[in-house]
Amino acid sequence: MVYAVVRAGGRQEKVEVGTIVTMDRIKADKDGNVELAAVLLVDGDKITSDAKSLAKVKVTAEVLGDLRGPKIVIQKFKNKTGYKKRQGHRQELTRVKITGIK
């Protein structure tokens, strides 16, 4: 069993070939593929975490589409001062499917 832990935006995700992951918006090349940076690689009983060895590891993914996350509402309120502030945010996301770990 081969899997890797990759950097996905500000987080880390455990991925195998065929896994579909939703991460922060990333740009794909003209073919719709992206390459993710591996943080850890597990190949059966062999675990690789050395930065020099991981530089040779390629985790490729195919972009399935761009989407937006749920809307969150940020409200600030201070009692007795008349201060109210309301702000919203929707995160830009990309859904990718892992195609290879080499």
12-37 pLDDT tens trace: 999 999 999 999 999 999 999 999 99
How many distinct structural domains can be found in the chain? 1
Cα–Cα distances in angstroms (integers) from residue 77 to residues 64, 86, 95, in the given order: 40, 9, 36
Nearest 10 degrees: CA dihedral of 36, 40, 43, 48? 120
Residue 54 structure tokens = 């991981």
Under a CB-based contact definition with an 8 Å cutoff, are residues 62 and 80 in contact?
A: no
Tell me what pLDDT residue 10 has. Answer: 87
**Could you tell me which residue, 29 or 9, shows the higher pLDDT?**
29
Residue 1 DSSP code? -
Give this prediction's pTM: 0.86
Q: Is the pLDDT of residue 9 over 90?
A: no
Tell me what pLDDT residue 29 has. Answer: 95
Tell me what pLDDT residue 98 has. Answer: 98
Range of the domain at 29: 2-101
CA dist 102 and 12 (Å) reads 18
Mean pLDDT in residue range 72-92: 98
Percent of the chain with pLDDT over 70: 100
